[in-house]
Structure formats: structure tokens, C-alpha cells
Structure 1
Amino acid sequence: MLTSLSRRGFLALGCSAAAAPLVTPVTLAAAPWDQRLVVIILRGAMDGLDVLRPVGDPDFAALRPTLLAGPEAPDLDGFYALHPGLADLMPLWRTGELGFVHAVSTPYRDKRSHFDGQDLLEAGTGFDVGTSAIRDGWLNRMLQTMPGVRAETAYAIGTGDMLVLRGEAPGSSWSPEADLELTPQARDLMRLVARHDPMFRDAVGGAIGIVESLETEAAMSGTAKPPKAHQALASFAAGRLKGETRIAAFSINGWDTHSRQSHALQRPLQALSETLLVLRDELGPVWGQTAVVALTEFGRTARENGTGGTDHGTGGAMVLAGGAVRGGQVYGDWPGLGDLDLYKARDLMPTADVRAYAAAAMRGLFGLDRAALERQIFPGLQMQTTPTIIL
């Protein structure tokens, strides 16, 4: 079960780490192994066809005349190109620390509800399990199959948890709050209030330390801007992952781009890019033992709409990063974008289950048995043709 601290007492003091609605709480769990797994939920249905552009497909350009205008997309392998908003990640691609999977989806089809799609993504269930029956998430079920798992000291500052790590296995959560800052006076007050409680003292000290570290770095670099919420969250997660924590999960929001997608996609792309780079930089040598898996609830329509955006679709893409992944390549079977190739004549046809690649990451990192992955962790999953994605 996830452990957290009450938000009310901290807000009564006006104490919080600065953040923005672009991110949600980070949840963590400790376990007796060396490999690390970071799961990022990209909420809002990321447009995989824009983020990972199949420019080598002869039907692609005609589907997206407006969205393909603008800066040139960096080439990846002659068939796929990366959205310019993720160009800062190209060094990771060249060193094999960044990869992608295309034409993937959960078993969710046709209704295209964010709420149901996200619940099913985090629950890891299939068609036969409705959202009303969901009680835990696939990361938590994975922890339930492994010995020696324990929660970190609870250090939640904020509310909420994530379904993907909710369940009977122990874990902890922490979240920055939106639009509030930790003034020096507030920091001193928080330390004073927490000094006699080891659990609060460690949690408060860790959260404040992350913010102060980022502020110091910003001052030394000549910038007066405070750390962004996603950077603070990634830095906090990295700090825990360098200690006892082995599992971290959080969300990046803002991927629902029904109109003006060229503009609307810039902010979440920047957040994703900066998050991965903060993790790489701050994990240091531990990055080599880390896999990051970023997933979204479903893709978007193959054709752009009349407002320069895309609507809810089916097949999409997922992002892999970390020193432990077999990067520098795009996984998945490309279905094509011809009229007869599309799902219901509108969406990218899924050719693989997104759960299979999450399972492949856990199997490669932690040596999990395939039967446990297919029956307990992801009920109904079949992963016999899933490639090896972990070094």
C-alpha cells in the first residue's frame, strides 16, 4: 500500500515546493536489487505519429500537411524522424540510451475516454476487466511477486497517488504543489515543526534540499528562474533512486492536443526532454542500471483535423530511455498508413500490446518469470514475440 503524509497540515503553514499542474505525485518503492525502473505516464494521449514521425511512409505527408510544417525533424534511422521538440535527446539516441516503440496500444478500443484509458493503462488489464473492477496497478502487482520489498519513509507533500503503483505492496509518495513557493521563512518553519518526528524531518529535509539545490544551480548559471516542477520532481526521484529506491512512477500531463498542436505540444515535449536529461545527469553511474518507460493511454488520429490538431485515436508510441535499455532503435511492426491499413479508417493500427514492452522491461531488469508477467501482473497478456529491450 502507498504511504503518504497529509496535505492539510503543510498547507496550513503555507509550505510547499513550487510546481505546476504539468506533473503529478511521484511514487517510489524500495527493493533489494540494483536495477532501477522509472515509469512515466504521459497523460492526455500523446500523438505518437507527431513525436515519432514515420516520414518514410509514403502516405504520411498527405495526412498531416500542417503539422509537418516548421523546423526539420532530426532523422533517426531513415524511416523515422524525431519531433524537433525532442532534439535535445538526440545524443541519447546516438549512444543507445534512447529508443521507441511504435504502433502500440493497450487493449482499450473505440470509446477513447481519457479516464477509462488511463485507468486501464495503469491497471494493466484487458478487455474483460471494467474500470469498476480495478483495485490495484501493475507495478504494485509486480512488487507483490518479489521478496524483500519495503516502503521508503513516507514523504508525501501534497495529495493523490497513482493507480499503477497502488495496491498491497508497500510504497511511498511525494508531490510538489502547484503555484506555491517555499520561502526561507516557510522552510525554517517546516524544519522547526518536523524536527522531533524522524519521518517528517527526513521527508521535509529531502524535499527542501532538492529545491535549494536546483535554486543554487540556477543562480550559479546566471539564471534567476526557479526550478520547473518537472525538473524538481525528476531531481527528487533521482535522489531517491541513488539510495534505496528502485521503482519510481510519475506523470507528465498536457498531451491532449485537439487544436493548434504545433504550439500545444511544445510544453509537454520540453517537460519530457528535460525530465529525462535531469534523470540522466543526476543519476550519474546509476543511469547505467536504469530503464525509463514512458507510456500513454492511446494514440491520436492519423489525419490532422480542421483546427491544426488531432483527435483521440488508438495506436501510438512509447518512449524508452536509460543506460540499461537497448536504445538507438525503434521497436514494433509498422502497419502502414494507407486507407486499408488504418484502424477503422481513422487511426494507426496497433500491432503490439504496450503492456508487453512494459513486461519486457521488468523481465530484463528483474528476471521475472514470463508466466507471472502474463497471469499475475498483466492478466491476459501474451508476450511470446516481444523483443529483448534491456541490455
Structure 2
Amino acid sequence: MTQSLNRRAFLSRSAIIGCSLAASPLMTPLSFASTPGENRLVVILLRGGMDGLDVVRPYGDPGYRALRGNGGISDPEGAVDLDGYFALHPALRPLMPLWSNGQLGFAHAVSTPYRDHRSHFDGQDLLEAGLTDFDSGTSRDGWLNRALQHLPNSQTETAYAIGRDKLSVLSGPAEVQRWSPESDLVLSPQAIKLAGLIMQDDPLFDVAFQKAMAISDGDGDAVATPGTRDDLMREINKNHKQTTGRNRTTLEQRIAEFAGKRLRGDTRIASFSINGWDTHQGQGRTLPKALSRLSNAILTLQETMRGPVWNKTTVVAVTEFGRTAKINGTGGTDHGTGGLMVMAGGALRGGRVMADWPGLEEAQLYGRRDLMPTRDVRAYLGWLLHSQFGLSKSAIETSVFPGVDLGADPKLIR
């Protein structure tokens, strides 16, 4: 490599410094979208169909033991009692202080209007679009984006779609900011210096780089070096070797920390997804891992936004459908219907499992196989939007979630 190292050469070697160009804001256009007021909302999409009957276990229902043996698929003896009827999966035990403080809650036996076909793709599309079906010609914009369109004075930092996934829940005309963990360039001061030298002759690219550094929280610190660009690259390589393997935080923790930092500022709405909920087999091994990642994400949000900001925040985690009530022959559960909604946050009036409980006797199951949904998950989401951002019930029922029956106010917010 010579002194004439150009932008192409720099980018072709960018793997050395930990930047994935496929998702980097250096190469991907950035779209920007803060609502008035101080309330915050975080929507987490749990992709794969979370088994709500194993996460919040209705051990007080006599039908549960008949379906699930001695009370759960994984670690039944470790379940944490919540209210004498429901018990929490032990992998979520770290969240119990939130439960004790009224900052954790659940809505059970909920679902979208999606029924019977049980396709992940269709189920997730309808969950994010917030629609009853796709046959009525209604726009497939995400329901969070439609909500933004009803909020006055939304600005470029209002909402963040975070992560690798497309996140259709925020897609639509209202502008939102998008960020992926790969866009956190993790550049050493030497790398920042080198990039600046290379890009200074290309004004458009230099502007893009500066924006990328701003969104990725790069420090941009200057570095004094008497050496050449070759020396700088050697320093970058040395820095990378020193830092590789040192950062053991999970992807979800990084995403949650980034979201929390944005929400401490002008941002009011953030959304990201967590995969790994499709537990057809070996659920006792796979589900605890996914739940630990969800727990880590929620606790990272709390830590990052601690204090007044957390007290204005509600976190809601939703999934495309639940799973079968019975365990299958491979120690897992198959695609089902009724499921669970997880809520947290300092603004939440938690410490309760909300459910119009349908029962688990065979005749009480949906299609004699699934937990019967008794309330539309969109109703809870609609009441959150009404309580936190002042959206009118008519706007929610006709535009944000067309056709939804909001029903009685569950009074989710303090």
C-alpha cells in the first residue's frame, strides 16, 4: 500500500476496522424522522412466534398441567410466581424487580386478527401493518408510521427503526431514522483521521462520512501522528487486534443502548426486533436463550434511560402468533394462535397479568389446539398510543388500526 491510498482501497479494507458496508450509513441512504411531549414508546418485534404459555404460565388453570406436564417445558421448578395463578419463566427472573415496582406487565391470550394459516411471513406482515387483512386495499404502511402521521410537529428525530431488519412497522410516508449495529463504525482515532484524509477531496462522500460518524456515536477525536498513511493503517490494524473479542455485549444490548441514548434526546419512538422464537423442537434449550436476550434488552433500556426519561417510557414486545397448547413429539411447540404481549417501563401501570382468560380444557382451545385469543393485541397498542401521545380513538380505529375494537381502556399508563 502506498501513500496514494484512495477511497476505494480504504473501503475495500474496511473489514479490518469492523465496518460492514452492506449496512453502513456510508453506503446506505439514511432516512430521518420527535413527537411533542415527553412520553416515549419502544416496540420490540419478537419474530418467530413466542410461546406465551411457557413464558407466563397459567399454572392455576387445571388444564395447564394436562397439556404441559408438571408446569412448563423448561425448568418447571424454577418458575417465579406472579399472582397465585400465573408464573413467570425463570429466564425472565432478572425482570422481577421491575414487576415488584409495577414496571412490568403482561397481556395474555392476545393475537392479531390473523388466523389458521400460521405463516411467519403473513403473520409478521399483518402484525407490522396493523391490519385485519390485506384484501381491503388498505395501505400496507406500518402502524407506527401511520400513528406518526397523526402527531403534530413530528421532526427528523422522532422515530428510529433499529437493526438489520426492514421493520415495516415504521415504513411509510412519515420520515424515520434508521440505524443498524453495523453502522457503529467502531473506528479508532487513527481510522477516523485516515478516513478524513481520504475523503476530503470528495465533498459529498465527506458529508456522508460525517453524518455516519454522528449517528454511530463515533468520537471523531483527532490523533497526532507524524507517520504516513501506511503508519495510520498499521495503527488501525493494531487497534482492531486489541479490541477484537473484548466487547462481549449481545446484539440486543447494543441495539437497546443505542435506542436508549436516542430516547434520552429528541427521539420519542423506537422499534427493533429480536429473532429466535420459532421453537418447533428443543424448546427447553432455545426459549430460555431468547428470553435472556429480551430481558437483557429491557434492562439495558432501563439502565440507559434511568431516571425521569425511563419514567416516561413504555416498552412493548409483541409477536406474530402464539404456539400450540400441547407439546409436540420433539419437545417443542408448533405455530398457534393466542399469545402473549410483554410490557415494561417506568410509565407502565404494571405488576399484573391482564387477561380475559379463556381456559385450557380442550373444548376451550381455539380449534381444540391453541390458546383461544380473547382480545386483539392491536387494542392494547391503540390504548398505549391514546394514553401516551394523545391520539384520538377515532384516528386509531379508522387509520392506525383500521377496524380494531378498542374495547374498555385497560389503563396501561400511570
**How many angstroms does 1:182 deviate by?**
3.8
- Alpha-carbon distance in 2 for matches of 1:39, 1:362: 12
Output the TM-score relative to the length of structure 1.
0.85
Query: Counterpart of 1:32?
Result: 36
Counting only pairs closer than 5 Å after superposition, residues 181-196 of structure 1 correspond to structure 2 as 182=186, 184=188, 186=191, 189=194
- Alpha-carbon distance in 2 for matches of 1:305, 1:105: 22
Which of 98, 103, 111 is the equivalent residue of 2:109? 103
Sort the Cα spacing of 1:114 and 1:226 in 2 relative to 1 into closer, same or farther, 3 A. Answer: same
Contact 1:17 1:207 in 2 (8 A): no
Q: Does 1:246 align with 2:268?
A: yes
Output the TM-score relative to the length of structure 2.
0.80
Which of 317, 322, 325 is the equivalent residue of 1:299? 322
Q: Does 1:93 align with 2:99?
A: yes
Q: Does 1:267 align with 2:289?
A: yes
Please, which runs of 5 or more residues in structure 1 have no aligned partner?
Answer: 1-8, 19-25, 211-218
- Alpha-carbon distance in 1 for matches of 2:280, 2:139: 29
Contact 1:194 1:201 in 2 (8 A): no
Sort the Cα spacing of 1:187 and 1:341 in 2 relative to 1 into closer, same or farther, 3 A. Answer: farther
Query: Counterpart of 1:13?
Result: 14
- Alpha-carbon distance in 2 for matches of 1:388, 1:154: 24
Give 1:115's aligned amino acid: F
**How many angstroms does 1:13 deviate by?**
2.8
Which of 346, 349, 357 is the equivalent residue of 1:323? 346
Give 2:251's aligned amino acid: A
Query: Counterpart of 1:148?
Result: 153
Contact 2:397 2:404 in 1 (8 A): yes
Query: Counterpart of 2:373?
Result: 350
Contact 1:28 1:246 in 2 (8 A): no
Counting only pairs closer than 5 Å after superposition, residues 1-391 of structure 1 correspond to structure 2 as 13-14=14-15, 16=18, 29-65=33-69, 67=73, 69-127=75-133, 129-130=134-135, 134-152=139-157, 160-177=165-182, 182=186, 184=188, 186=191, 189=194, 197=206, 200-209=209-218, 224-285=246-307, 286-391=309-414
Contact 2:185 2:218 in 1 (8 A): no
- Alpha-carbon distance in 1 for matches of 2:405, 2:198: 51
Q: How high is the sequence identity, in percent, across the aligned residues?
A: 52
Q: Which moved more, 1:27-36 or 1:372-381?
A: 27-36
- Alpha-carbon distance in 1 for matches of 2:199, 2:360: 58
- Alpha-carbon distance in 2 for matches of 1:131, 1:16: 45
SS in 1 for 2:342: strand
- Alpha-carbon distance in 2 for matches of 1:49, 1:34: 35
Give 2:321's aligned amino acid: F
SS in 2 for 1:100: strand
Q: Which moved more, 1:67-76 or 1:272-281?
A: 67-76
**How many angstroms does 1:248 deviate by?**
0.2
- Alpha-carbon distance in 1 for matches of 2:100, 2:37: 28
Sort the Cα spacing of 1:132 and 1:300 in 2 relative to 1 into closer, same or farther, 3 A. Answer: farther
Superposed CA offset, 1:190-224 (max 9, x none): 566678755642442442559xxxxxxxx9xxx94
Q: Which moved more, 1:110-119 or 1:161-170?
A: 161-170
The RMSD of aligned alpha carbons is 3.1
Give 1:86's aligned amino acid: L
Sort the Cα spacing of 1:27 and 1:354 in 2 relative to 1 into closer, same or farther, 3 A. Answer: farther
Superposed CA offset, 1:75-103 (max 9, x none): 10010100000000000000000000000
Contact 1:40 1:252 in 2 (8 A): yes
Give 2:410's aligned amino acid: P
- Alpha-carbon distance in 2 for matches of 1:131, 1:258: 33
- Alpha-carbon distance in 2 for matches of 1:268, 1:76: 21
Give 2:46's aligned amino acid: L
- Alpha-carbon distance in 1 for matches of 2:317, 2:370: 21
**How many angstroms does 1:268 deviate by?**
1.2
**How many angstroms does 1:384 deviate by?**
2.4
- Alpha-carbon distance in 2 for matches of 1:155, 1:17: 21
- Alpha-carbon distance in 1 for matches of 2:391, 2:158: 26
Q: Which moved more, 1:224-233 or 1:153-162?
A: 153-162
